[in-house]
Protein backbone atom coordinates (compact mmCIF):
# COMPACT_ATOMS: atom_id res chain seq x y z
CA UNK A 1 0.00 0.00 0.00
CA UNK A 2 1.33 3.41 -0.94
CA UNK A 3 0.83 6.60 1.01
CA UNK A 4 -0.55 9.60 -0.83
CA UNK A 5 0.60 12.99 0.41
CA UNK A 6 -1.66 16.03 0.20
CA UNK A 7 -0.63 18.41 -2.60
CA UNK A 8 -0.29 21.34 -0.18
CA UNK A 9 2.52 19.60 1.72
CA UNK A 10 5.18 19.68 -1.01
CA UNK A 11 6.38 21.64 -4.03
CA UNK A 12 7.53 20.44 -7.44
CA UNK A 13 9.67 23.61 -7.75
CA UNK A 14 8.28 23.95 -11.25
CA UNK A 15 9.80 20.67 -12.46
CA UNK A 16 7.47 18.52 -14.55
CA UNK A 17 6.62 14.95 -13.50
CA UNK A 18 9.29 12.51 -14.66
CA UNK A 19 8.84 8.75 -14.94
CA UNK A 20 12.66 8.45 -15.25
CA UNK A 21 13.32 10.03 -11.85
CA UNK A 22 15.41 7.97 -9.46
CA UNK A 23 12.69 8.71 -6.91
CA UNK A 24 10.06 6.84 -8.94
CA UNK A 25 9.12 3.32 -7.89
CA UNK A 26 9.42 0.47 -10.37
CA UNK A 27 6.14 -0.40 -12.10
CA UNK A 28 6.31 -3.86 -10.51
CA UNK A 29 7.09 -2.82 -6.93
CA UNK A 30 5.33 -4.68 -4.12
CA UNK A 31 3.65 -7.19 -6.44
CA UNK A 32 2.20 -10.32 -4.88
CA UNK A 33 3.59 -12.33 -7.77
CA UNK A 34 7.11 -11.67 -9.13
CA UNK A 35 7.05 -9.63 -12.33
CA UNK A 36 3.42 -8.57 -12.04
CA UNK A 37 2.69 -4.88 -12.63
CA UNK A 38 1.33 -2.87 -9.73
CA UNK A 39 1.10 0.47 -11.54
CA UNK A 40 0.74 1.74 -15.08
CA UNK A 41 1.44 5.23 -16.38
CA UNK A 42 -1.68 7.17 -17.33
CA UNK A 43 0.28 9.00 -20.02
CA UNK A 44 1.91 6.97 -22.80
CA UNK A 45 2.26 3.72 -20.77
CA UNK A 46 4.06 1.89 -23.60
CA UNK A 47 6.99 4.28 -23.20
CA UNK A 48 6.73 5.47 -19.59
CA UNK A 49 6.19 2.15 -17.78
CA UNK A 50 9.67 1.05 -18.86
CA UNK A 51 11.20 4.24 -17.42
CA UNK A 52 9.81 3.65 -13.93
CA UNK A 53 12.33 2.49 -11.36
CA UNK A 54 15.53 3.25 -13.29
CA UNK A 55 18.59 3.41 -11.03
CA UNK A 56 21.33 4.31 -13.51
CA UNK A 57 21.61 7.92 -12.35
CA UNK A 58 19.83 11.20 -11.89
CA UNK A 59 17.50 12.22 -14.67
CA UNK A 60 17.75 15.79 -15.99
CA UNK A 61 14.62 16.69 -14.00
CA UNK A 62 16.16 15.20 -10.82
CA UNK A 63 19.17 17.48 -11.29
CA UNK A 64 16.91 20.47 -12.00
CA UNK A 65 14.84 19.87 -8.85
CA UNK A 66 17.95 19.45 -6.69
CA UNK A 67 19.42 22.64 -8.11
CA UNK A 68 16.24 24.57 -7.33
CA UNK A 69 16.04 23.08 -3.83
CA UNK A 70 19.65 23.54 -2.73
CA UNK A 71 21.58 25.82 -5.10
CA UNK A 72 19.70 29.08 -4.72
CA UNK A 73 20.46 31.95 -2.34
CA UNK A 74 18.71 31.73 1.06
CA UNK A 75 16.56 34.73 0.20
CA UNK A 76 15.30 32.92 -2.92
CA UNK A 77 12.08 31.38 -1.64
CA UNK A 78 8.55 30.53 -2.65
CA UNK A 79 5.89 32.20 -0.51
CA UNK A 80 3.27 29.60 -1.44
CA UNK A 81 3.51 25.81 -1.54
CA UNK A 82 1.60 25.77 -4.85
CA UNK A 83 4.28 27.80 -6.68
CA UNK A 84 5.80 24.65 -8.19
CA UNK A 85 2.45 23.57 -9.58
CA UNK A 86 1.78 27.01 -11.02
CA UNK A 87 5.25 27.11 -12.56
CA UNK A 88 4.62 23.81 -14.38
CA UNK A 89 1.38 25.35 -15.66
CA UNK A 90 3.45 28.15 -17.29
CA UNK A 91 2.10 30.87 -14.99
CA UNK A 92 5.49 32.50 -14.33
CA UNK A 93 5.18 34.64 -17.44
CA UNK A 94 2.23 36.53 -18.83
CA UNK A 95 2.19 38.08 -22.30
CA UNK A 96 5.94 37.55 -22.72
CA UNK A 97 7.09 39.09 -19.44
CA UNK A 98 7.30 37.94 -15.84
CA UNK A 99 3.96 37.85 -14.04
CA UNK A 100 4.27 40.41 -11.22
CA UNK A 101 2.57 38.29 -8.55
CA UNK A 102 4.59 35.19 -9.48
CA UNK A 103 7.83 37.20 -9.54
CA UNK A 104 7.16 38.39 -6.00
CA UNK A 105 5.83 35.15 -4.54
CA UNK A 106 7.29 32.25 -6.54
CA UNK A 107 10.91 33.27 -7.08
CA UNK A 108 12.38 29.81 -6.52
CA UNK A 109 10.03 27.74 -8.70
CA UNK A 110 10.05 30.31 -11.51
CA UNK A 111 13.86 30.76 -11.34
CA UNK A 112 13.57 34.53 -10.83
CA UNK A 113 16.59 34.61 -8.50
Other Cβ atoms closer than 10 A to 92: 20
Quote the pLDDT of residue 1: 57
> pLDDT (tens digit, 9 = 90+) per residue, 6-24?
777 788 888 988 999 998 8
Average pLDDT of the segment spanning 30-47 = 90
Between vectors from CA 109 to CA 104 and to CA 113, what angle results, nearest 5°? 60
> pLDDT (tens digit, 9 = 90+) per residue, 61-113?
999 999 888 888 888 999 999 999 999 999 999 999 999 999 999 999 999 98
Question: 41 vs 5, which has greater pLDDT?
Answer: 41
Rounded to the nearest angstrom, the gap between the alpha carbon of residue 58 and the centroid of all alpha carbons in its chain is 13
Residue 4, pLDDT above cutoff 80: no
Burial class (CB in 10 A: 0-12, 13-18, 19+), 64: middle
Amino acid sequence: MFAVSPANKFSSYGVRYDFSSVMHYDSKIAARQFGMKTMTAKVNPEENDAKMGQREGLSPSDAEALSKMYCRPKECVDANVYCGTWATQNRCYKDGSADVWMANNCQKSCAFC
